[in-house]
Each structure stands twice: as C-alpha cells, then as structure tokens.
C-alpha cells in the first residue's frame, strides 16, 4: 500500500508556499534574512536563511503558545495548514486514526542547552523554570501539535539529522500500511537560533537554515475525492559509511524496485545535495535536479520535507511531469542514506502552495 499526500503546510525563508520554495531552489542563491536583532548572543553572520516575521501568537493566538520554543511553534503552524489544505476535519469519529510523525535532529537545541545551563548557574536547589522543561524533550513539537488539533492517533518523533524527514516518511508509510492510522501529519522542522547557527558554522555545515514543512499523508482509500497532490510509492534507508555515494545508489535501486518503477522513468531528483553527480548511473543523465541546500542552507531534518515541497511546486506548474516518478534523497556525514520514490499531480485550482 502507498500513501497519498492531500495537503501541505510550508514555512521557510523563501516563503510560505511551494511556489515560493521552488522559485528559491531554482534561483540557487542563499535566501538571506537579517538576524542581528533577534538574539542577545553573537551570531556567525548578520544574515541567514531564517524565517522572517514569524509570530506564533498572531497566527495561533495567545492561549497555549506563551512558553513554546520556536521549533514547536513552527511545527504547530505547519500542521494546521496541512490539515486545512488537505480538507481534513478532525472530530470524535476520526481523531483516534489521525496522528503526527515528525523528523528532527535534536528537538529544540536552544531549549535543551538553556535548561541545562540553568541547572548549573541558578541558585540552589537549582531553581529552573519547570514550565520550560517540556521544550527540552525531542517529541515536544509532535506532542503539542497533537494536543492543539485534537489528534489521538500515532504520535512519533524520529531523530535523523538530514535524514529526519525521510525516516519520518518511512515510519508513517509503514503505520498506514499496517492499519495503525488512516491519516498522518508527516514533516520535518528545524529552528534558527544562535545554538544551531554556531553548530552549523563550527562543523562546516553552515549556514544554518530554518524551516517547517508538513504533509497530510492518507490511506489511498481514505483520501478525499479528487486528485491528490502526490503519492509516496516507497522509502528505503541504509547505512554505508565506507562509500556513501554507492550506498545512496543502492538505496535508490531498492526503493525503485519496491515501487515497481524503472530508473529510466525518473524525471527529477530533489534533496539537500547540490552535487550534480548524485545518483549518476542510476537515473537518466538529463534528470532535473532540485537541490535545497544552496538556497535554504543547512535545514537538517527539514531538508527532505523542503525537497518534497519543491517537487510539489514543480508538479503544480507543469503538466509534463504529471504522474511521473521522482526521487527525494538524503545522506548524513556518518554514512546514513535514504531515498523516497514519489509521483505527483496538479490539483484543480492549484496556483500556489
């Protein structure tokens, strides 16, 4: 069984639609936002691919949002938009069959580090603010989103760095296949803070980016009438530390075989990797490439989710690739690899995300 994408919610430095996302990816130049006035701490650069003018209270109201960390707030807004875009009304009849699966790196790195620091510098007996503790756990965003929208189904958070979204997509697809859920909000989220900015800078992965992208994935027989945005045919993962490029190629072959798709039919490859040789020899040489990283920076777990958004934007604008398969790829510095096979369509009335 496959899963169909019927709705999406995207928040990125490029904008809040898949059209904006696709335009930035195509341009290939870093989307810069002035971040100097956001924090008291120094930053590695005055500009970064961070989301501008995001105010969770303005978008969701004051109730229940006062103590949210930024990653959780971004995820909650994206989840709400995906539900609305997919036309799914959550009620007592279906809420136990609707859930959330998110990919992350560490959750909110700032919340974890700030809380840990308070345990060292505050007066004994270490008078930390207990209200802030929930923000330190990795699954804060998925839990808060479920509470906000009344979802009582599968709830999971998968830590995978740049593979986080693809791990979440695989987990969600398996949950739907095994009958544990009818619909799942699946996505990836990463916040921009001094903590993530310096981490990316010091490890050579910078500049750090910021994004949340969430998709409503449903059972094909439970999806609303009409054409979905996309269909997830297969997701494969692997670990190949000695030769990541070959590991990714093998992963792609396994995913294509599971999806019953010929490699020669693939028309596009999207992901964080700007290397034009990625999967060369597996897919056609003329394949269209949509690398996210040059435009939106190091978005870690949100990278694959943004790649899917760029593909949705591409499917929406042009009838030529409709129904044709594309790949979403990811790999981590330790040798982890993952590939998803998807195909998409333009829905009636689609002009933007």
Domain boundaries, the chain: 3-218, 230-344
Rounded Cα gap, residues 159 and 190, in angstroms: 11
pTM > 0.95 = no
* Residue 100 pLDDT level (bands cut at 50, 70, 90): very high
Query: Radius of gyration (Cα) for the chain, nearest Å?
Result: 19
The reply to whether 230-344 shares the fold of 3-218 is yes
Rounded Cα gap, residues 26 and 244, in angstroms: 26
The DSSP annotation for 23-82 comes to HHHHH-S---EE-TTS-SS--S-SEES--SS--HHHHH-STTTTT--HHHHHHHHHHHHH
Question: DSSP state, 321?
Answer: T
Over residues 161-198, the pLDDT tens digits come to 999 999 999 999 999 999 999 999 999 999 999 999 99
For residue 352, pLDDT beyond 50: no
- For the purposes of burial, counting CB atoms within 10 Å of the CB of 188, is it exposed (0-12), middle (13-18) or buried (19 or more)? buried
Rounded Cα gap, residues 172 and 108, in angstroms: 22
For residue 110, pLDDT beyond 90: no
Token pair, residue 222, equals 């439970």
With H, G, I as helix, E, B as strand and everything else as coil, classify residue 200: helix
CATH code for 230-344?
Answer: 3.40.47.10
Rounded Cα gap, residues 78 and 145, in angstroms: 9
> E strand or H helix at 108, and its extent?
none
For residue 349, pLDDT beyond 80: no
3-218 topology per CATH: Peroxisomal Thiolase; Chain A, domain 1 (3.40.47)
């Amino acid at each position: 069984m496959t899963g169909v994408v019927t709705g999406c919610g995207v928040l990125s430095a490029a904008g809040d639609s898949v059209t904006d996302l696709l335009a930035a990816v195509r341009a290939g130049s870093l989307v810069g936002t002035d971040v100097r006035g956001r924090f008291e701490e120094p930053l590695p650069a005055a500009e970064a691919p961070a989301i501008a003018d995001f105010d969770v209270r303005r978008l969701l109201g004051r109730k229940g949002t006062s103590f949210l960390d930024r990653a959780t707030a971004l995820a909650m807004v994206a989840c709400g938009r995906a539900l609305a875009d997919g036309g799914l009304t959550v009620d007592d009849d279906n809420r136990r069959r609707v859930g959330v699966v998110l990919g992350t790196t560490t959750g909110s790195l700032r919340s974890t580090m700030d809380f840990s620091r308070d345990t060292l510098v505050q007066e004994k007996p270490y008078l930390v603010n207990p209200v802030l503790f929930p923000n330190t756990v990795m699954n804060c965003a998925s839990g808060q989103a479920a509470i906000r929208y009344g979802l009582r189904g599968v709830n999971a958070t998968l830590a995978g760095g740049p593979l986080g979204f693809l791990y979440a997509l695989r987990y969600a697809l398996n949950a739907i296949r095994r009958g544990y859920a009818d619909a799942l909000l699946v996505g990836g989220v990463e916040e921009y803070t001094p903590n993530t900015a310096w981490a990316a800078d010091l490890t050579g992965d910078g500049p750090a980016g910021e994004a949340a992208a969430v998709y409503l994935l449903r059972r094909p027989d439970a999806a609303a009438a009409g054409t979905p945005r996309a269909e997830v045919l297969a997701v494969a993962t692997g670990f190949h530390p000695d030769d990541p490029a070959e590991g990714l190629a093998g992963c792609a072959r396994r995913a294509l075989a599971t999806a019953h798709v010929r490699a020669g039919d693939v028309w596009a490859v999207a992901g964080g990797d700007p290397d034009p040789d990625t999967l060369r020899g597996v897919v056609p040489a003329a394949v269209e490439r949509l690398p996210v990283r040059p435009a939106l920076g190091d978005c870690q777990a949100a990278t694959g989710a943004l790649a899917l958004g760029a593909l949705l934007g591409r499917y929406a604008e042009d009838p030529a690739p409709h129904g044709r398969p594309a790949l979403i790829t990811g790999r981590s510095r330790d040798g982890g690899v993952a590939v998803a096979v998807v195909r998409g369509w333009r829905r009636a009335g689609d002009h933007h995300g």
